[in-house]
């Protein structure tokens, strides 16, 4: 089992990308399933499993044990001439995994370049960007049930993936630690997704007419670096809210009142409205209360200008939710896990 070192009253400031102060009653790390079993044998109440802390807002000190997943390793599980199944430990940094795959010539996750966080957290909200979600390439995951220590394999159908959603954010919240995730990627005939967002424009700027997966990864990195604040310089957790999906009847009524409303059909008779547009229309973009603010370049991102605490950021989020609700009759929901 090795040595398990459990710290008391550990500051989590360096472990969350908002950079807010909060203390964990107990804190530990583990780098293997055996080590995690050792952590569980201490019989302390587990508050939550921590990855890169890039989808968290800590609004208070945390009672119980925060256990940080540092399980490493990338492995080829099987391959044919055309396809490959690659798995990674839950603590592997997501972008390192993407880079490893892109440089090996394995396609499917290049559009997800530069998303912060760990491989183990990626299935929890079915991370997505620029027209790709991990459910598109997901093969299986292994998760350790915290109550029993038993490892269970989840296939895609078991995960109930949805838009920024999975069973791990619903029925199974807090019950499992995802220790390994496997992806099915392409070795030939890559299904490039270049139609979304600014990818085409950026490829043009790069002078690339026939992109490969490395070029798409590079384009995504350029777009993201110019659009999103770097948490190392300005605390944030990416998009704070989900883009709401509304029924068409509600949408048509809103379109009457707000003809410029931005919308995307979801394909199932509903319309997705960019939360950033709704927030901007309510005048929040660039607004700041103390050190908590709504990012000047992208209203969907809430930022910590320095010493905001999680409570202040959450109060700002609630004010934004209330004002969007008053103006549009739409209740935004946070994408970020508020603790």
Ligand X SMILES: Cc1cc2nc3c(=O)[nH]c(=O)nc-3n(C[C@H](O)[C@H](O)[C@H](O)COP(=O)(O)OP(=O)(O)OC[C@H]3O[C@@H](n4cnc5c(N)ncnc54)[C@H](O)[C@@H]3O)c2cc1C
Residues classed as catalytic? 164, 239, 335
As measured in angstroms, the least distance from the Cβ of 142 to ligand X is 10
As measured in angstroms, the least distance from the Cβ of 249 to ligand X is 29
The residue to which tokens 């979304």 are assigned: 196
For residue 10, state whether it binds ligand X (rule: CB under 6 A): no
Residue 231 or 276: the one with the smaller Cβ distance to ligand X is 231
Spatial distance between the Cα atoms of 114 and 247, rounded to a whole number of angstroms: 33
∠ CA 188-194-198 to the nearest 5 degrees? 150
**Using the rule CB under 6 A, which residue among 89, 108, 211, 238 binds ligand X?**
238
Residue 303 or 320: the one with the smaller Cβ distance to ligand X is 303
**Using the rule CB under 6 A, which residue among 12, 27, 39, 52 binds ligand X?**
52
Question: Residues 84 to 113: which contact ligand X by CB under 6 A?
Answer: 90
Query: 16: which DSSP letter?
Result: S
As measured in angstroms, the least distance from the Cβ of 315 to ligand X is 20
For residue 53, state whether it binds ligand X (rule: CB under 6 A): yes
For residue 178, state whether it binds ligand X (rule: CB under 6 A): yes
As measured in angstroms, the least distance from the Cβ of 1 to ligand X is 19
For residue 228, state whether it binds ligand X (rule: CB under 6 A): yes
Residue 164 or 184: the one with the smaller Cβ distance to ligand X is 164
For residue 237, state whether it binds ligand X (rule: CB under 6 A): yes
Query: 255: which DSSP letter?
Result: H
**Using the rule CB under 6 A, which residue among 56, 159, 213, 234 binds ligand X?**
56
Q: How many residues form the binding site for ligand X (CB under 6 A)?
A: 33
Coarse DSSP helix, strand, coil percentages of the chain, rounded to the nearest 5 percent: 30, 30, 45
Residue 21 or 325: the one with the smaller Cβ distance to ligand X is 21
Angle between helices 213-227 and 94-104 (to 10 degrees): 150
Question: Residues 114 to 143: which contact ligand X by CB under 6 A?
Answer: 115-118, 120-122, 124-125, 127-129
Residue 31 or 250: the one with the smaller Cβ distance to ligand X is 31
Spatial distance between the Cα atoms of 66 and 69, rounded to a whole number of angstroms: 10
User: 171-183 burial by CB neighbour count: b if 16+ within 10 A, else e?
Assistant: ebeeebbbbbbbb
Spatial distance between the Cα atoms of 294 and 179, rounded to a whole number of angstroms: 34
3-state DSSP assignment of residue 259: coil
Spatial distance between the Cα atoms of 153 and 180, rounded to a whole number of angstroms: 10
Query: What is the H or E stretch that residue 142 is in?
Result: strand 138-145
As measured in angstroms, the least distance from the Cβ of 69 to ligand X is 4
What are the tokens at 44? 């302390």
Q: CB–CB of 166/125 below 8 Å?
A: yes
Window of 6-14, 43-51, 77-85, 283-291 that interacts with ligand X by CB under 6 A = 43-51
**Using the rule CB under 6 A, which residue among 20, 33, 51, 102 binds ligand X?**
51
3-state DSSP assignment of residue 199: helix
For ligand X, the binding residues (CB under 6 A) are 17, 48-56, 69, 90, 115-118, 120-122, 124-125, 127-129, 176-178, 228, 231, 236-238, 337
């Amino acid at each position: 089992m090795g040595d398990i070192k459990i710290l008391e009253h550990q500051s989590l400031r360096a472990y969350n990308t908002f950079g807010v102060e909060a203390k964990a009653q107990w804190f530990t790390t583990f780098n293997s399933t055996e080590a995690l079993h050792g952590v569980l044998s201490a019989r302390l109440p587990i508050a939550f499993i921590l990855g890169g802390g890039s989808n968290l807002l800590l609004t208070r000190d945390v009672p119980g044990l925060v256990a940080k997943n540092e399980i490493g390793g990338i492995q080829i599980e099987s391959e044919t001439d055309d396809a490959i199944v690659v798995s990674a430990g839950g603590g592997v940094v997501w972008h390192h995994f993407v880079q490893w795959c892109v440089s090996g010539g394995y396609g499917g996750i290049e559009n997800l370049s530069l998303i912060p966080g760990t491989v183990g957290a990626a299935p929890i909200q079915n991370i997505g960007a620029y027209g790709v979600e991990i459910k598109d390439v997901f093969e299986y995951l292994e998760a350790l049930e915290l109550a029993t220590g038993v490892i269970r394999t989840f296939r895609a159908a078991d995960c109930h993936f949805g838009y920024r959603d999975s069973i791990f954010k619903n029925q199974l919240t807090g019950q499992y630690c995802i220790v390994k995730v496997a992806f099915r990627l392409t070795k030939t005939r890559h299904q490039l997704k270049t139609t979304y967002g600014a990818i085409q424009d950026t490829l043009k700027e790069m002078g690339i007419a026939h992109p490969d997966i490395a070029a798409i990864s590079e384009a995504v990195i350029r777009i993201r670096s110019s659009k999103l604040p770097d948490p190392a310089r300005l605390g944030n957790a990416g998009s704070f809210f989900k883009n709401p999906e509304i029924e068409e009847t509600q949408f048509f009524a809103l379109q009457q009142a707000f003809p410029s409303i931005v919308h995307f059909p979801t394909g199932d008779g509903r319309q997705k409205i960019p939360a950033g547009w709704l927030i901007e229309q309510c005048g929040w973009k660039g607004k700041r209360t103390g050190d908590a603010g709504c990012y000047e370049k992208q209203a969907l991102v809430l930022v910590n200008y320095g010493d905001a605490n999680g409570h202040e950021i959450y109060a700002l989020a609630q004010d934004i939710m209330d004002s969007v609700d008053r103006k549009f009759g739409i209740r935004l929901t946070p994408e970020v896990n508020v603790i």
